[in-house]
Chain A
Amino acid sequence: MARMKFLCDSERCIECNGCVTACKQEHEVPWGVNRRRVVTMNDGVAGAEKSLSVACMHCTDAPCMSVCPVDCFYTTSEGVVLHDKDPCIGCGYCFYACPFGAPQFPQDGAFGMRGKMDKCTFCAGGPEADNSAEEFQKYGRNRLSEGKLPACAEMCSTKALLGGDADEVSNIFRDRVMNRDGKGAGVFGWATAYGKGDAKPSAQEKVTPKVEAKP
């Protein structure tokens, strides 16, 4: 069966934060919880600025799973890492362990006490009955059971964020790479790997980026 994955193309992401907004709107996530966020690297440096959208990456060997003291995580048959909010004790260990900072904790009461953990579900809901009111209230919409892909990926204006079966996603990306750099050596990215010279000049090379001093 499929193994669901996200992929973000750093060449295409324009930091519009549309995915962040779509996610918030689709799932009506509580205040202070950010299931998805866009991070811009080298912000303001000409020619070096790259943006990436990040959420739960649905690891095959998820660290959150192994540290959870009540074992609330599970992987679905589609390879989506989900969790059951009922047993969650809000200890924050999954947040310590996660490389991507995906688990979020709504503040519950005074002194920064953590509530039940909330994270990206790949729009696959939770263990409650699919598309039920309880499921929506706890985990947000279950688009996967409606035959749809995550809202963030589907609405991405530049198609920088791709979501879906890993095979399909990699096919799309392969198509993209093949078309990106033209023909011949450019197809397998000669210039990207070894520098300009032998390869046919690509579209990117014609634009000479200005290198500015750091602000």
Chain B
Amino acid sequence: MNRMRLTRWVSCLFVMLTALCGTAHAQTPDGAQQQAQRQQTQPGNNAPVWRDVRGGENPYQTTQVRGRETAVLIQSGGETWRQTRRVFTYYGGWVLAIVPLLIGLFYWRKGAIKLKEKPTGRLMARFTDWQRMIHWTVAITFCVLALSGLIMLFGKYVLMPVFGRTLFSWLAILCKNLHNFVGPVFALALILMILTFIKDNFLKIYDFKWIAKLGGIVSGEHVPSGRFNAGEKLWFWGGVMFLGIVVSATGFVLDFANFGQGRELMQLANVVHAVSAMMFVAAFFGHAYMGTLGTEGAYQAMRQGVVDETWAKEHHDIWYQEMINSKSSTVAGAQGLVIPTTIKQG
């Protein structure tokens, strides 16, 4: 009885939705009744039954075969999913090809952001061991997932003509298993990384000025910023937080197929997963560029955890001032001035 009521609710919602979309949908709640009457007036006419067959599950639809959705004769969602997938594969492919090209063009015309003054040689702790460890855990699992995901989505068009079918299928099997097992590790590490970095990523007034001036990336001037500049904060909230959680949640729906989720949910999860993952990868290209080639000294900060005083002053002046003002505070180990040994470059 409960299930019937649920089905009613869902079909009611569905009818409302289709009405909103402006398409006429002839779904009658009482196909059985109609068929019984039709049998008397027009014997052999099974139109109401076929309508129910097309419409999915009606409450009187049964089968002896145990399993998920085995009583559904025809599901229409598959075609919608297939068409949607076709579109986002095409455009996503272009976006993922063009973004690195644009970054390359930018690097070629503008070059890396170099330090303006000479390094003082005095180093400031920027990231603790834990912070670096969690960052690289997320980063490495992300790269594995991105690469395996892209191979599974585009490999048929890009790699299969080169490798041949057998070799590519071995690669694809490897990718699928990597994707399925590395995924949960990524999700867990992602949560820990969000908790680690959320404190320094809340937007401040000066961040809006930074956004208004696009971080001075065009003019070349320095716009004040805290421990993280507004660009990094946008990556944190939009990329790591929003896309990361969306990708992880939909990934779990697809990865653990043993919780009785139906095809409709998995189709939806697949579309959301793929689209947000491609956006994530496109944004990641920007982050990876700024963290390595694009900014002198940025990679060292995440690799060794320390930055030169000059770098801190030029890139994160507000954070630098805070650190100078609160010499005593050594919270989390990364806060406070360190004047240690010299560090091997590279």
Contact = CB atoms under 8 A, between A and B. Distances in A.
Given A48-B35, A63-B79, A70 B41 contact: no
Chain B, interface SS category: helix
A147 interface: no
A184 interface: no
A34 B46 CA distance: 27
A166 interface: no
B176 A89 contact: yes
Given A48-B49, A63-B79, A114-B257, A39 B62 contact: yes
B273 to A, nearest CB: 12
A211 B78 contact: no
B267 A96 contact: yes
Contacts of A20: 64-65
A42 B31 contact: yes
Interface in A84-135: 86-93, 95-101, 107, 111-114
Contacts of A69: 152-153, 155-156, 172
A116 B172 CA distance: 13
B169 interface: yes
Given A39-B63, A96-B266, A209 B70 contact: no
Interface in B260-311: 263, 266-267, 270
B73 A52 contact: yes
Interface in B24-72: 30-37, 39-46, 48-49, 52-53, 58, 60-65, 67, 69-72
A60 interface: no
A40 B44 contact: no
Contacts of B258: 107, 111-112
A63 B74 CA distance: 13
A69 B41 CA distance: 50
B98 to A, nearest CB: 23
Contacts of A204: 39, 43-44
Interface stretch (B110-118, B124-132, B160-168): B160-168
Q: Contact residue range for chain B? A: 35 or more
Nearest to A91: B176
B227 interface: no
Interface stretch (A137-145, A153-161, A186-194): A186-194
Chain A, interface SS category: loop
Given A52-B53, A54-B73, A214-B33, A32 B257 contact: no
Nearest to A116: B173
B314 interface: no
B256 interface: yes
A74 to B, nearest CB: 11
Given A42-B32, A96-B81, A96-B266, A192 B61 contact: no
Interface of A: 10-11, 15, 17, 20, 32, 34, 37-48, 50, 52, 54, 63, 66-72, 86-93, 95-101, 107, 111-114, 180-181, 189, 191-196, 202, 204-205, 208-209, 211-212, 214
Among all A-B residue pairs, the 6 with the closest Cβ atoms:
A112-B258, A87-B169, A48-B35, A204-B43, A37-B65, A112-B257
Interface of B: 30-37, 39-46, 48-49, 52-53, 58, 60-65, 67, 69-79, 81-82, 85, 152-153, 155-156, 160, 165-166, 168-169, 172-173, 175-176, 180, 255-259, 263, 266-267, 270
